[in-house]
C-alpha cells in the first residue's frame, strides 16, 4: 500500500543553515494493507522524520513515497485533503494536537465539517459515540471537556478514534505509548492491534524493541538514518542478521539477565566520522561500532534480500 523508495531527508542546521544533517539516508521499506509495521531505532535515528514525511508535514530531500501507486510527495495542495482521508497521525505529546481554548471533542466536528459535511448531525453524533466506545472510552466521561481536563492517554485515544471515524488506511503512531501507565499502555497497544481488523495499517514508531516485537507484523530497524534490517518481525527477532540488530537484541534487558557493562561506547571522534551529508562516504553507518568491520568490505553495503521479505544492509552477510 505505502512504499518508501530511496527516501532521504537533509536538514539544514547551524547558523544560517550552513551545515547539513542527513537525518534519513535512502530508506526503503513497505507498509502492506492491514499490517502493523514497527519502526525501531535509537534516539536521533530518523524515525520521527520518516513519520513526518509520510504525514506530509515535511518533504523528503529525495526519493519517493508511494501510496496506492501515487507518489505522495507530488500531491498538489488542493488534493491534500484526500490524502489525509487515508493517512493520519498520533504523536507522543497528544496535547500538541489540540487547541487548548477549544473543547477536545471539537476534533470530531472538524472532521465532519472538512471531510463529511453531507452527513446529517444526528447520524454523525452516533458515529462519534461509536468510535469513542471502540477506543475504550466512556462518552459521558470524556465529551464536552477541554484538553487539560483529559489525560494524555484519553487524548491519544481521541486521535485514534478520529482515525477510525475517518476510516483511514494508515495510522502513523509516533512513540504514543511512552506517556501512558502500564495498564493503559496494554489497552492502547491492543487497540492498535484491533485496528487491523478494521482494515487499518499502523506504522508504530518506537525506540523500544520489546514493544515493537509485541505489536508488529513487520519490523524496520534504523540506525543513524539508515534502514539496517527489515522484514517479518518473528523472522528478524529469531534470526537477526545485521550486527546492529544482533547487538540491539543482546542489549534488551530481561529478568534472567543481569546488566553487563561491556557494550562498546562510541567516542566523539568516531561519531564525527559519520557523514552529515549524503555521499560524503558510503561506509556502513554501523562501521564504527561493528565487531566485524572491514574498511574494504563495509563500503556501500546495499540492501540484500536474505530470505523472502527479509532485507539486510550488510556486506558481510
Ligand X SMILES: Nc1ncnc2c1ncn2[C@@H]1O[C@H](COP(=O)(O)OP(=O)(O)OP(=O)(O)O)[C@@H](O)[C@H]1O
Q: How far apart are CA 276 and CA 95, in angstroms?
A: 32
Of 37-45, 78-86, 128-136, 182-190, the segment contacting ligand X by CB under 6 A is: 37-45
Comparison of 205 and 241: residue with beta carbon closer to Mg ion? 205
What single string gives the DSSP state of each residue in 8-77? EEEEEESGGG-EEEEEEEEEEEEE-TT-EEEEEE-TTSSHHHHHHHHTTSS--SEEEEEETTEEGGG--G
State which of residues 4, 25, 37, 41 lies at the interface with ligand X (CB under 6 A): 41
- Contact at 8 Å (CB) between 94 and 101? no
Comparison of 44 and 302: residue with beta carbon closer to ligand X? 44
Comparison of 19 and 130: residue with beta carbon closer to ligand X? 19
DSSP 8-state secondary structure symbol assigned to residue 306: E
Question: Between residue 256 and residue 315, which ones bind ligand X under the rule CB under 6 A?
Answer: none
Q: Does 156 bind Mg ion (CB under 5 A)?
A: no
Q: Does 21 bind ligand X (CB under 6 A)?
A: yes
Q: Does 207 bind ligand X (CB under 6 A)?
A: yes
- Contact at 8 Å (CB) between 21 and 82? no
DSSP 8-state secondary structure symbol assigned to residue 307: E
Q: How far apart are CA 59 and CA 65, in angstroms?
A: 10
Q: Does 45 bind Mg ion (CB under 5 A)?
A: no
When CB distances are held under 5 to 8 angstroms depending on the partner's kind, the choice from Mg ion, ligand X, none that residue 207 binds is ligand X
When CB distances are held under 5 to 8 angstroms depending on the partner's kind, the choice from ligand X, Mg ion, none that residue 94 binds is none
Q: Does 48 bind Mg ion (CB under 5 A)?
A: yes
Q: How far is the CB of 314 from ligand X (least distance, A)?
A: 20
Amino acid at each position: 500500500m505505502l512504499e518508501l523508495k530511496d527516501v532521504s531527508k537533509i536538514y539544514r542546521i547551524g547558523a544560517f543553515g550552513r551545515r547539513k544533517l542527513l537525518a534519513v539516508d535512502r530508506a526503503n521499506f513497505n507498509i502492506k494493507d492491514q499490517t502493523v509495521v514497527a519502526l525501531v531505532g535509537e534516539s536521533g535515528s530518523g524515525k520521527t522524520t520518516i513519520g513526518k514525511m509520510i504525514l506530509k508535514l515535511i518533504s523528503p530531500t529525495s526519493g519517493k513515497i508511494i501510496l496506492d501507486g501515487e507518489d505522495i510527495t507530488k500531491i498538489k495542495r488542493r488534493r491534500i485533503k484526500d490524502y489525509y482521508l487515508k493517512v493520519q497521525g498520533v504523536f507522543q505529546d497528544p496535547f500538541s494536537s489540540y487547541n487548548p481554548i477549544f473543547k477536545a471533542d471539537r476534533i470530531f466536528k472538524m472532521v465532519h465539517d472538512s471531510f463529511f459535511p453531507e452527513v446529517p448531525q444526528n447520524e454523525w453524533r452516533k458515529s462519534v459515540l461509536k468510535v469513542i466506545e471502540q477506543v475504550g472510552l466512556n462518552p459521558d466521561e470524556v465529551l464536552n471537556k477541554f484538553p487539560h481536563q483529559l489525560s494524555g492517554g484519553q487524548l491519544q485515544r481521541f486521535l485514534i478514534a478520529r482515525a477510525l471515524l475517518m476510516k483511514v488506511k494508515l495510522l502513523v503512531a509516533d512513540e504514543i505509548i511512552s506517556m501512558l501507565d502500564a495498564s493503559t499502555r496494554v489497552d492502547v497497544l491492543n487497540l492498535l492491534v484491533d485496528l487491523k481488523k478494521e482494515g487499518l495499517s499502523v506504522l508504530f514508531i518506537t525506540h523500544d524493541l520489546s514493544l515493537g516485537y509485541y505489536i508488529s507484523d513487520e519490523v524496520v530497524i534504523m540506525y543513524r538514518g539508515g534502514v539496517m534490517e527489515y522484514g517479518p518481525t518473528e523472522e528478524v527477532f529469531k534470526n537477526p542478521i545485521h550486527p546492529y540488530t544482533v547487538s540491539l537484541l543482546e542489549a534488551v534487558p530481561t529478568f534472567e539477565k543481569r546488566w553487563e557493562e561491556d557494550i562498546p561506547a562510541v567516542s566523539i571522534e568516531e561519531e564525527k566520522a559519520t557523514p552529515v551529508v549524503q555521499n560524503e562516504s558510503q561506509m556502513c553507518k554501523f562501521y564504527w561500532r561493528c565487531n566485524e568491520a572491514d574498511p574494504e568490505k563495509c563500503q556501500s553495503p546495499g540492501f540484500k534480500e536474505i530470505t523472502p521479505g527479509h532485507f539486510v544492509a550488510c556486506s558481510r552477510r
